[in-house]
Structure 1
Amino acid sequence: MKTEPSVAAKSTSCARCAWVNEDPLYIDYHDHEWGVPVHDDRLLFEMLLLEGAQAGLSWYTVLKKREGYRRAFDGFDPHRIAVYDDVKADELMKDEGIIRNRLKIQAAITNAKCFLKVCEEFGSFDKYIWQFVGFEPIRNRWRDIREVPATTKESDAMSKDLKKRGFKFVGSTICYAYMQACGMVNDHTLDCDFANAD
């Protein structure tokens, strides 16, 4: 995850990771989603699409447009997105509710097709993607946000295999952010009340 400047969320009852700002949207994401294991294929696809959209931007920027993406991309339904054509891509380029980058829009369409192929091969995307962490979340014990890596050997392996399967915008840094977002790793720092959450 690309972090924001270290602005700790103000709360009288809860300590959070240093990357969280004061926006209730960001606080809610940190408290209820980030680092929580995801096994639902639709949500796994949603996060893959959003992490790809993040490339070169902050996660906060993408998070603020999440509802726009849900609307524009048919609730992140990979079956619908996989059949988007050039007319639909042109339409999306005019949608102010999303990040209007043609390469990222085309990548979402390509990734939907690749996602469906993986689901067909493995029975679900969940069974495929969780193999990269041995089907168990990696629980890290970082003292400081500066210790959190941008990539790991697991994200390198994930990135290499996704690229081999035709996925786009799946470099190792994006893959590690995806692993954090989907709870494949728990990178809440030790000074955060959510560090030991299940």
Structure 2
Amino acid sequence: MQIGIFGGSFDPIHNAHLIVAQLAREQLGLDVVRFVVAGEQPHKPGGHHAAAADRAEMVARAVDGLEGLEPDLHEAARPGPSYTVDTLRHFRNAMPGARFVLLLGADAAGKFETWREPAEIRRLCQVAVFQRAGMAAPGGFDLAVTIPAIEISSTAIRARSRAGHALGGWVPDAVGDYISGLRLYRSDRG
């Protein structure tokens, strides 16, 4: 079993996340990509805009029915900071025969050496970096996943939600309905 580990805030998850995960699965021959919803992230001291339970629910809704994409709530459910090395140890213990590939965006790859125990992370898994077509991938990583330029970001989606704009095309419908229904990211949230 070959498992891609795609961690993040997913605040909220959006269509670009799903597209790059599917491309990683295809290009790297992964059986599954697990979306690991971060709990408390040590590299994002400002915290999250939505609670871990809401972010986990949005990820579950986004991947529902999509072959080879699964939510993973291990980090979101545990207290304290979420460190990738701890999550990888958890997976290795839970699935000793599996091969793991950590999937990173270029921004995260640029900060990888500042993470807790980067050498141990490399021992526990291969590391793949998303690389936009026509651009050089950051060096020093095991694998690259070529992706198209997709101009969708969680920041833009939160701004659209805050302004009361429609989210169709930006997020899966089930996620847009969840955001609208709870008025997530709105200052007038009751």
Instruction: Please confirm whether the aligned pair reaches a TM-score higher than 0.5, indicating the same fold.
Output: no
Identify, as 1 or 2, the structure richer in helix: 1
Q: Shorter-chain-normalised TM-score: which range?
A: under 0.3
Q: When the two structures are superposed, what TM-score results if normalisation uses the length of structure 1?
A: 0.25
Report which structure shows greater RCO (CA 8 Å, sep ≥6).
1
